[in-house]
Amino acid sequence: MKEAKYLSVDGIRTHYFEAGEPHRGKRPTILLLHSAEFGGCAEFSWERNLSALAEQFHVLAPDHLGFGLTDKIFDFNDQFGRRIRHIRRFIEIMEVGRFMSWVPPCQAACA
């Protein structure tokens, strides 16, 4: 079962889904990164995958900075770099350990 949660990442309210919590620390975490086109968010991108993946893995699906229900930052300098740093800090704060990322082809550079 997926559960919507919030976490503060360096003062940014970050929305994410977590599923497969019994596998946390026992099996690798799968980090699902949604695409960054207009309207992109974890819920719509991964709603059909979360439960199936959670049967075997711990799964995290955060909304990128400025997308979905994560805080919006109105600063247009280094948007791509800021999103990468935000996700990196999310992973550190969640103390994920080993993980695999799964991204749509248009987001592969972010991974």
For 27-45, the pLDDT digits (tens) are 889 999 887 766 677 776 7
pTM: 0.84
Q: What is the pLDDT of residues 43-93, one digit of tens each?
A: 767 778 889 999 999 999 999 888 788 998 877 788 788 888 999 999 999
16 close to 63: Cβ distance less than 8 angstroms: yes
